[in-house]
A and B are shown apart, each in its own frame.
Chain A
Amino acid sequence: MISSIIFIILLALGFYFFYKNISKIRRNVLLGKEVNRSDNSSERWKLMALVAIGQSKMVVRPVAGVMHILLYVGFVIINIEVIEIIIDGIFGTHRILSFTGALYNFLIASFEWLALGVIVGCVVFFVRRNIIKLNRFMNKELDGWPRSDANYILITEVLLMSAFLIMNCSDHLLQVREYGHYIKAGSFPISNLLSPLFVNMSSASLVFVERGAWWFHIIGIIAFLNYLPYSKHFHILLAFPAVYFSNLKPKGEFNNLASVTNEVKLMLDPNAAIPPAPETPLKFGAKDVLDLNWKQLMDAYTCTECGRCTSSCPANQTGKLLSPRKILMDTRDRLTKVGKNIDINGTFVDDGKSLLGNYISEEELWACNTCNACTEACPVNLDPLSVIMDLRQYLVMEQSNAPAALNGMFTNIENNGAPWQFSPADRLNWASED
């Protein structure tokens, strides 16, 4: 009875804080500018099925891809077990779903295999990050919290799965001893291997181990749930909407700014019918996160910092400062800051900082080749390139702050219709030259 009440309180608090935190993230994402990503819903569902649910872009790199699928499938399916744990916890029952008999045995056995898979996957990932030290996990932007975050996630998952297996092992031993309410239920192909560790324990100690593992497992899950909003691991939720709302246009098609179109039409034809000027003065490009659109902000929260973008970026791979992963990490960090500012002040109060300058430098922005290697590499179709472009637009159109050579190129196009200093009158000379 007491344990049921404690359980219900823990569960309620866990969900309450989780709900509060994701509401905040939702609010922060919706601070972004409008962009229409609700067209072509059938194509979007298909894309989500393929890329997010089907992990099609993950397996482009087979080792990480296959390991990730182990973790992903394990995570999703083992969570069916959490349903039983929650029912048992609330009503004080034990293995409430065991009445399903053979199905139950099959499910528990599958969970155990998957738990083993998750542990193997986590160990491989841990080794790749901390022992093999793959290049893309060594970049500067991961120093400190991001690198620890990744390890915390892997360690937590190993602990949770271990608790699950220890719980099953001790439960099974108690079942064999026909102890108390430990009815015969389930099939335990993996946790049986642990039984030498526990077989000599008294039944009372086994109950202690079983209950301990049970509580550790469920409290761990609730705690992990509440860790998600602070972690790169939040991708397990946002990957799906992020893929659904992907850019469906060809990667080479960059947005034409509508505000610019109006101005250019006026310039070319003063009599053109132009919609009335907006009430707030126009700003071209993005200086801070509030100038980005909501999808770009969602991308920032979705990024799990795997670094495939950065490891395929020609600028980064030749030692330049630019890292597309850092672009999204900075966007998230800045947006979190802005969100806290709003929590305190009710509305955003200028803090003298901005994404451009304080987080992302001009040097990073000007190193980009706009080659789309980053967007191609991203397993969940995130788009750091669009953020780079919006910030570049601000540099050029609001601050007239392009590298001198590019200003020269602009002048040439304006005056000669070519990026170099050639006369437009000579444009057809090639046809008569040898």
Chain B
Amino acid sequence: MSQINVPTMADYMAKGETPEILFWVGCAGSFDDRAKKITKAIVKILNHVNIKFAVLGTEESCTGDPAKRAGNEFLFQMQAMQNIQVLNGYEVKKIVTGCPHCFNTIKNEYPELGGKYEVLHHTQLVQQLIDSGKLKVEGGEFKGKKITFHDPCYLGRANNEYEAPRNIIQKLDAELNEMKRSRANGLCCGAGGAQMFKEAEKGNKEVNVERSEEALALNPDVIAVGCPFCMTMMRDGVKHFEKEDKVQVLDVSEMIAKANDL
């Protein structure tokens, strides 16, 4: 595994420099063991294309998204205003996030509270890098593989970004098969709206089982995701059907990093 280089905003500040872009890692990306791999894949891509980026490190804090969706507007705005103080203190202009929930919150809900930035989801940044020729992608191990992409609600419906992740997957020379419920009709993985942090209400099925079943019906080699929470939910779903040996669940950024041997 190649060494990764993760400078912080404070490092840049000390050198009297400013990075081009802030990588907002998010709580899952920082603490969840599986999601940390996604974080590293994103860093590897950023390192590979030599973008001047930085993370906030220990100065980063929850965006407040789960609190807001759960109805705790106080806690959300406390988090938001403190984060905005930090971001504005560093004069951040451009942010890339590893998580669609952070992406949505910072992009849409922070401006009114004083935090105005250009915000990209990591799949959007990767697509820009490919389009501008900075990042070359060949299929590598994914060439000809059957892949289905599960739309994160907060990237897709919430922000109308359906193409970036798909464009990237297609660059891998993979066979992209769509689930019946995809894009605007995509079915939630079951984690949104703070469901990640509680038991589901009584029902006859878990949402992630329903969704994984739909994905597995396509017999994919890879279920591609773009969100650390979808990652947890889809992996649990695949395990539920005991398919974890046959079907990988990977973030789009991980696929790019793997295909490029990063």
Q: Which A residues are closer than 8 A to B by beta carbons?
A: 60, 249-254, 256-257, 260-261, 263-265, 267-268, 284-285, 312, 314-315, 317-322, 363, 366-373, 376-377, 389, 392-397, 402-403, 405-406, 408-410, 413-414, 417-420, 422, 424-431, 433-434
Q: How far is the CA of A268 from the CA of B200 in the complex (A)?
A: 35
B65 to chain A, nearest CB (A): 9
A364 to chain B, nearest CB (A): 8
Given contact pairs A393-B71, A427-B31, enumerate 20 new A-B contacts (beta carbons under 8 Å): A250-B104, A250-B108, A250-B159, A256-B113, A260-B77, A318-B209, A319-B203, A320-B202, A321-B201, A369-B191, A371-B188, A371-B192, A373-B188, A376-B157, A376-B184, A393-B73, A419-B197, A427-B57, A428-B6, A430-B29
| A residues less than 8 Å from B70 (CB atoms) | 392, 396, 402, 406, 409-410
Q: How far is the CA of A409 from the CA of B79 in the complex (A)?
A: 13
A413-B66 CB under 8 A given contacts A252-B154, A320-B200, A321-B202: yes
| B residues less than 8 Å from A253 (CB atoms) | 104, 108-109, 158
Q: Which residue of B lies closest to A414 (CB)?
A: B75
Q: How far is the CA of A434 from the CA of B82 in the complex (A)?
A: 31
Instruction: Kindly supply a per-residue 1/0 record for chain B positions 25-50, scoring 1 wherever the CB is within 8 Å of any chain A CB and 0 otherwise.
Output: 10101111000100110010000000
**18 intermolecular pairs with C-beta atoms under 8 Å apart:** A250-B107, A257-B73, A314-B211, A321-B201, A368-B193, A376-B157, A393-B71, A393-B72, A395-B71, A396-B70, A402-B71, A409-B197, A413-B66, A417-B62, A418-B27, A427-B25, A430-B39, A433-B36
Q: How far is the CA of A372 from the CA of B156 in the complex (A)?
A: 10
- The answer to whether A317 touches B210, judged by C-beta atoms less than 8 angstroms apart, is yes
Q: Which residue of A lies closest to B68 (CB)?
A: A254
Q: How far is the CA of A394 from the CA of B74 in the complex (A)?
A: 12
Q: Which residue of B lies closest to A418 (CB)?
A: B27
- The answer to whether A252 touches B108, judged by C-beta atoms less than 8 angstroms apart, is yes
Q: How far is the CA of A367 from the CA of B202 in the complex (A)?
A: 9
Q: How far is the CA of A251 from the CA of B192 in the complex (A)?
A: 14
The answer to the question of B13 belonging to the interface, with a C-beta cut-off of 8 Å to chain A, is: no
Q: How far is the CA of A256 from the CA of B67 in the complex (A)?
A: 12
Contact of B207 among A363, A369, A372, A419 (CB under 8 A): A369
B5 to chain A, nearest CB (A): 9
- The answer to whether A372 touches B198, judged by C-beta atoms less than 8 angstroms apart, is no
- Interface residues on chain B, size class: 35 or more
| A residues less than 8 Å from B181 (CB atoms) | 312
Q: Which B residues are closer than 8 A to A by beta carbons?
A: 1, 4, 6, 8, 25, 27, 29-32, 36, 39-40, 43, 55, 57-58, 60-62, 64, 66-75, 77-79, 81-82, 104, 107-109, 112-113, 153-154, 157-160, 181, 184-188, 190-207, 209-211
A372-B157 CB under 8 A given contacts A260-B77, A366-B201: yes
A319-B205 CB under 8 A given contacts A256-B113, A260-B73, A285-B71: yes
Q: Which residue of B lies closest to A433 (CB)?
A: B36
Q: How far is the CA of A373 from the CA of B207 in the complex (A)?
A: 13
Q: How far is the CA of A245 from the CA of B131 in the complex (A)?
A: 38
- The answer to whether A417 touches B199, judged by C-beta atoms less than 8 angstroms apart, is no
Q: How far is the CA of A267 from the CA of B108 in the complex (A)?
A: 23
A52 to chain B, nearest CB (A): 19
Q: How far is the CA of A16 from the CA of B67 in the complex (A)?
A: 50
Among A363, A417, A426, residue most surrounded by chain B Cβ atoms (within 10 Å): A417
- The answer to whether B198 touches A403, judged by C-beta atoms less than 8 angstroms apart, is yes
| A residues less than 8 Å from B200 (CB atoms) | 318, 320, 367
Q: Which residue of B lies closest to A421 (CB)?
A: B31
Q: How far is the CA of A414 from the CA of B70 in the complex (A)?
A: 14
